[in-house]
Amino acid sequence: MPAAIGQELVALLPRLRRFALVLCRSQPLADDLVQGACERALANADSWSPGTKFDAWMFRILRNYWIDHLRRMRTEGMAEDLSQQTQLVGDPGEGPILSRLVLSEVQRAIDNLPQEQREVLLLVCAEDLSYRETAEVLGVPIGTVMSRLARARKRLMELTTAA
């Protein structure tokens, strides 16, 4: 079974990395989280039931790995200054610059959402998981997913139209 899981993992890596970036907001840490989650998945391959959603299973492993990381950081302290994480991209065209400004505004609005709302927003809107699958990944009732998503969408509208 690990060979089949390995192939599924490779195909899922970009989505896992995107979710990890939403969780931690640091590219190097996101890569570490994805690697750790993949290691856990491979080590516990027998706990995955064929016929169930592999991506939901992996998102749950990744989220649990993130929670474990936060617990470790709480006792050890942060080792990385997140304010020093900058990305320099150059493109002289006006269109891409305006697009980046809008995208930057939306990213700031998403970053200002509470963690619970960011997680639900990404899993439902970006990863295309159903409400039920998202509820399973997060370990919350489906009504909580719906409520968090509605609040996240409302807050995003407020933050992006107020500017």
Q: What is the DSSP string of 59-100?
A: HHHHHHHHHHHHHHHHHH---S-GGG---------HHHHHHH
Does this model's pTM top 0.75? My answer is no
CB 106 within 8 Å of CB 100: no
Which residues lie closer than 8 Å to 25 by C-beta, 6 or more apart?
82, 85, 111
Q: What domains can be seen in the chain, in order of their start residue?
A: 1-83 (1.10.1740.10), 92-162 (1.10.10.10)
Query: Residue 163 pLDDT > 90, yes or no?
Result: no
Q: What is the pLDDT of residue 96?
A: 67
The answer for residues whose C-beta is within 8 angstroms of residue 109's C-beta and 6 or more apart is: 155, 156, 159, 160
Q: Are 59 and 19 in contact (CB under 8 A)?
A: yes
Of the candidates 19, 69, 59, which has an alpha carbon nearest to the alpha carbon of residue 38?
59
pLDDT in tens, 125-153: 888 899 999 999 999 999 999 999 999 99
Cα separation, 148 vs 96, in Å, equals 32
